[in-house]
Structure 1
Amino acid sequence: MKLNQLFHQLKLNVKFTILIIVMLVIPIGVFAGILFYLMEQNVVDENCNYMQYTMERSQDDIATKIDSINMPTQFFLSDDDLKEALLAAASGQELSTEEWLSLKKNDISSLERLVNNNPLLYSVRVYAINDDVQEMMPILYNHTRMERLAWADDTESGWKFNYVDAVFDSYTMNQNQKLISLVTPIVDYDYGVIGTIEAAMTMQDMFPGLYENIENEWSCFVTDEGELYFGDNEQDDSVELLQEILKQNQKTEETQVVYSKIKGRKLVISSMPVKELSGTLISVKDITENVHRVYFIRNVFVVVMLFVIALLVLWVNHIVKRLLRQLYDILASIREVQKGNLDVVIENCGPDEMGELGTQINKMLRRIKRLMEDNLKREMLMKNSEIRALQNQINAHFIYNVLESIKMMAEIDEEYAISDAVTSLGKLLRYSMKWVSGNVLVEQELEYIKNYMALINLRFDYEIYLSLNIPDSILKQEIPKMSLQPIVENAIYHGIEQMAEDTNIYIKGFVEENDCVIEITDAGKGMTEEEVEQLKKKITGEMESDGGSGNGIGLKNVQDRIQIAFGEKYGIEVASKLGCYTKIRVRIPWHPVYEETVKVGGAV
């Protein structure tokens, strides 16, 4: 909410600049974000594909090498002469020299050729269960030789990993070369185990990836029991990383390549289960530098973009100010107008929207000046009217003095009817000629009607009686001057005069909800429904009055004056019945005035 308020308080050129920059920066930011994400993803995918290819190649290679070990093992197990020699040694039988020579010449030599013909094999050795055999190197060995090997205490058959060849002394054997071998017992049906076959291969030949010195890449073979075997490419934190890798990645039966973020390092990890070896070959490629290179490019792009945006803000703000220059000129002109200078003229109004605004403001200023001149003239006319009203009052005093003299002459001659008539006329003239700028009280208006009725009855041979039923609170109600008398006059001339007989006019006042209602009812000739509807339309202005008697001009004037004073919801209502009556309702807001007022009238 505060940000929204702050934005609304900014200048227009700043708002436009912010909006333009935002509209440019958001698409560029989204595009750049997608671009750098794709660049990072491309680095990851490229290395994942590389690791996938490497692992597939290793899978076929390891399968071939396992077969290279299994095949001679099976061949050795199928050699019956070798098994008979081992059985004889196990059972304590002694073979003659000729039998050993025959075994050496026929079987051992063929087995040796088999091993030598397979360059992948390090050796295939047969160990007797005791030392009662004639050793025939490099194939047949006694039990003491086997006991020198690291796996000798583990009598279970299977694969043995990462041990050295200790059959002979260290000066005759390469003790730094690590071996992997398949150890298989030779079993006689009757006697049991009579010997052990060791088909060996170097770890480097079986897992060349463990010994390749490739930057940011290393491998490890993990047995199902959790033993770890590294080659020459083991790094300082390889064990720690591998433990975290094994913790995050579950074992699968298929080769998989995943991308992981471990301890701030970005790693591509491939794992290939090797069921025959009861373990998994894991290769790890550290692509942290490659990914950080993308991050570096991204950061450089952000810095450059910030610099470009800063320059763009200055340039856009300059352009927007130039575009809004005419608007600022208009604002400066309006400030001058607020100071009271109406002679301001906006120059160089062009054909665009700003120019149109300047043109309209010039027209408005000319109209204001003209209205002010007209208003000044109107005020002068009002002053002149007040002066003329004052003069009329002076003339009225002369008329009142003359009427007073006539009244005194009538009373001297004992013409009291004439005296009363002159008194009523004087009151009538005093009320109508008195200058009143606002409303009058109902009681003042009724006093005027009484004097008017007294003079009217002098004209006719019949009597028109005036009946009043007005509460005191309504007598203090304000009403526009001369708003009830025209209704009474209209009732006499259009409802009663044509009947030429004694009758009456009844004026009643009451409060209805929050309105004050004054009813003026005459016992005259009344009107038809059609005449009533036409009169209503003339009063509301729906039908034009054509002049002449009975055209409703007087009632429309009363309606207009009441609505000007109190609002559109107030005014007069008409109801009539032919041959019975006509009733006019005057509805005004209920606002009684309780202060002391001076009644119009008095002696003349």
Structure 2
Amino acid sequence: MSLKKNKMHFSRRVVFVFTLIVLAPLLLLYGVTIFLMNLQSIRGLEALCNLEVRMNEDKIYENIQAYELIDKMIRANGDLLLFITSPENRDESEVIRTVKEESLTLERILSVEPSLYAIRVFTNSELVPERFPVIMHSSRENLASLSSWEFNYQAKYLAYMDSQSLPSACLTRELVNGKRPVGWVQLSMRMEDFFPFLRRSPPPHQNDFIFSLSESNGEKRLSQIFCQNAAPGREKLLSEKEIKDFGRQIFSGSNKENTRLQLAGKRSVAAWRYLPELGIVIAHTCETAMTLGYAATVTLLGLLASVIVGLGFFLIVRHTANRMFRGIYSVMNGMRRVSAGDLSVQIPVDASNEVRETQQTFNAMTSQLSEQIEQITTEQHLIADTEMKAMQNQINAHFLYNVLETIHMQAVLAGNDDISQSILTLGKMMRYCLRWRIHTVTLEKEMEYIQSYVSILNIRNDYEVLLELDIPEELSELKIPKMIIQPFVENAFVHGIEPLAKDTVIRIYTEVDEAHKKIWLCVRDFGAGMSQAKVEEILSYLADEKYERDSTGSIGIKNIQQRLTLFYGNDYRLEIQSEAGEGTLIRVPLPIEGDMR
């Protein structure tokens, strides 16, 4: 009954404290207000962008009308069309006079629209004499390859005339007399005159962009158009990603002509228009930073007030919580120490409510964990010892039979020192294997055993396995688990080399990983190799931490992986790389210091 009463009292105090926290609904109300203010500011920016882009569109269409007017005036000049159609019907003096008169006429037309700075008439007839820069032969430019509208166009054939080769918005159209093409007319206006909004100094945080629209293989793409004489800061170079994102908004199929996006690394709102006559998209953008500055100021002041109010509540809650949860904090601190690996921690039992029971349970738990871990560690070492003995005493009977048969044949066929050497090598191997009380050896001793093993392999086969060792001298005394390399050499021979039955190489070398304080002991063969599926199967088998009791399949490398994990930890995992027909690489991780747990 007393425990129940304490629980109710504790719960009431918790409810009372959190009831005092009225700050949450106030912050929610304040956040909604700020959100609505920001939303209204964004909508104001969108309206501004729409207005600017409409004004820019109107000015561009005014310039297009000027082009159309001049183009119609030229096409209405019947004398000019007749002259460039059949100049052969006139004598030389009349041709020269006509060229002069028509050139003056074309130059006077420019006064109708001062923003146009160039009118060029190209004639297909070589009989018409050229009068630069007004009347020229069509052969001076590949006019048929030009689009009707070209931007940043430069008349390179007039490069010596700077005033005639400025980057321009150029309209190029074919002249036809009847149904007969007789030439071309080309009208040019400076880019900054055709797009007058680029001449104005940009308002803060606002920008104008022009993109050409192209289509290839059914895919629409945008390319940014620049004006070399734009006002400083008027044009910004956009990245390919930003242009692609902007294009995705345009081609999304939505009828909306405004959007929100990141441009030049800043959040912006944008309005755009597609001008099909020119094949371009014009856009006006406003960065949200400046417009939202006022909202940010209000937000900051509100947050400051909220911080002051929240601080007051925080002090009250903290004072109360410290008194309420002192016992819980002690348990939490104890858990942190346990997570850091300290299982000897015992926390003081000083609470006067249900937390006291938690503290007592925690202390009992850490004591039990320490005992269990000690027991498990002992059991794992016993298992490792048993496995080591089993592996060291497990001699492949078929292998031993073949070796003894080989020695017998040597004795029968020829009396020489080979037999003595073979027996000596085999003896060294037997002594190395059967000394099961020694679990660790130096890297140098392990390599001597591998050399003996490969030597025996070469006796029993009619092809040679060449062993290449590349072990730095400073690593020769490195302590490693015994018999950690031989299973991989055996696997290389049985599964990779023996099926091919030809001379080959097995390389054993080291790689140092200073960043992770590891040494990789590598066994590389150039035999049959394995498929990636087989490699994944073996790695999956090695990842299974279940203790393997039988002696079939890959028990040798499974045992090695288990010993690596036991001695050095879970970070020391075997790596296998193989490709069918190319051979196999096994990488065995070892700590640089060579210390075991």
TM-score of the pair, normalised by structure 2: 0.45
In terms of Rg, which structure is larger? 1
- Give the structure-1-normalised TM-score: 0.44
